[in-house]
Amino acid sequence: MISLNGVLILRYNLGLLMIKIITYLFFLFSFLLTSCQPDSATQEENTVQNGPAQLPPIEEDYEEAQYKWGYINRSGALVITDNFDETRNFSEGLAVVRKKGRWGYIDKQGMIVIPLQFQGAWSFSEGLARVQTYDHKMGYINLKGAWVIPAEYAELGDFSEGLASFRQDQLFGYLDREGKVVIEPQYDQASAFENGVARIKKNGKYGLIKNKGTVLLEPKYEKAFPFSDGLARVKSEGLYGYIDKSGKWAIKPTFVSAFDFNLGIAPAKKDTQFGLLDATGNFVVEPQYDQLWYAGDSLWGVELSSKYGLINAFGEVVIPISFDQLYSFSEGIAPYQLDGLWGYLDNQGKLITRAQFGLAWPFKDGLARTAVYRGIAFIDTKGEIVIPPGYMDVRDFSEDLAPVQVYR
């Protein structure tokens, strides 16, 4: 006869088995889905954001969702009724929503404040949002829905630091908030400005420009990345090096792979192994790892023989190299994987939760999504479930509201 404890242990083990099976099926489905899509960019690649972009399909191509989307608050209550076929996160007080083939904007009370009238709509940034009309033209509206820059462009980017990219024919330039051309269209690709610098591509080569169009790095590199700690990572003749703000080589290109500087050091790969460089190009941590990246909170993630851990700037192992997978820190907490399940640890190496989740997402605004036996739940920074599973699908919180898909 099986005891009550035996039954509970059996049920617990069956639950863990189910989570592992669900996780496997999820990743198998994700692999099949994404294997037909273009490869996503890694830190090592040069991800210049614009185009040409994939624009929304025409109205007739959208299908009405069987299960609608709404929004919950941080208590888990459905505060905006599930009336929408598709939703986005709130930004600057408004969220993009879709009904059938038309997009518009709602406020935090769920009221439609900018009518559902666009073929495509994007989140607000710096008080303006790009939208696409049904004649396939793009422009910008303000928070009241009024046109600020007319819909007469084939492609636009979001505003960042007062500028946004636009495409004219096949070339990109930049507009200001009044629609004035600040940088004439001349680039094959153009990213958003960040800290006064944007990445551009011209004639198949990459470089950097300032927000007045001044060339910071001539577009002559196979890859180029913005300055970090005063040095820009570039790829030349198949190898990576670093250039200073005068345009001279600070560290000559001798590395198979390399990442940006943080806190005065950078991961770089010599032959087959990664180590940590200082700003003079000398290794302060000798190459010995299969992978090495800045994980945040003054720690670097490492992979060695398919196991993951964390080291400090001196190469000292802070968190043992014993995990099956380990991600970067967000709000001082990182997801880890052991035996097919996920948990969380803090930047001191203390386990906040044991490995018990089928999936684990980064923390955002003090909460993280996790896949548990009955669905997706939110946990707090203590690892406690604060919003239990109750919806078909759940997205991250933004401005204290999270999109959810409701089963009815």
Say if CB 165 and CB 153 are below 8 A apart. no
What are 282-329's pLDDT values in tens digits?
A: 999 999 999 999 999 999 999 999 999 999 999 999 999 999 999 999
Say if CB 222 and CB 205 are below 8 A apart. yes
Least confident of 46-60, 272-286, 349-363: 46-60
SS3 (DSSP) at 7: helix
pTM for the model: 0.85
Section 247-273 average pLDDT: 97
In a domain, 19, yes or no: yes
% pLDDT > 70, the chain? 85
* CA distance linking residue 69 with residue 71, whole number of Å: 7
Query: 49 phi and psi, to 5 degrees?
Result: -70, -35
Which pLDDT band, with edges at 50, 70 and 90, does 49 fall under? low
* CA distance linking residue 114 with residue 107, whole number of Å: 9
* CA distance linking residue 383 with residue 155, whole number of Å: 43
Say if CB 189 and CB 50 are below 8 A apart. yes
For the record, the structure tokens of 254 come out as 């001798």
State residue 231's pLDDT score: 97
Least confident of 42-51, 372-381, 398-407: 42-51
In a domain, 30, yes or no: yes
% pLDDT > 90, the chain? 83
In a domain, 36, yes or no: yes
In a domain, 17, yes or no: yes
The per-residue b/e assignment along 222-253, b for 16 or more CB within 10 angstroms, e otherwise, is bbbbbbbeebbbbbbeeebbbbeeeeeebbeb
> pLDDT at residue 157 above 50?
yes
**Pick from 206, 147, 193: nearest CA to 182:** 193
In a domain, 26, yes or no: yes
Count of domains in the chain?
1
In a domain, 7, yes or no: yes
In a domain, 310, yes or no: no
What are 114-137's pLDDT values in tens digits?
A: 999 999 999 999 999 999 999 999
Q: 18 is in which domain, residue-wise?
A: 1-40
* CA distance linking residue 175 with residue 152, whole number of Å: 13
State residue 239's pLDDT score: 98
In a domain, 1, yes or no: yes
Q: Burial, 111: exposed, middle or buried (Cβ in 10 Å; 0-12, 13-18, 19+)? A: exposed
What value does the mean pLDDT of the chain take? 89
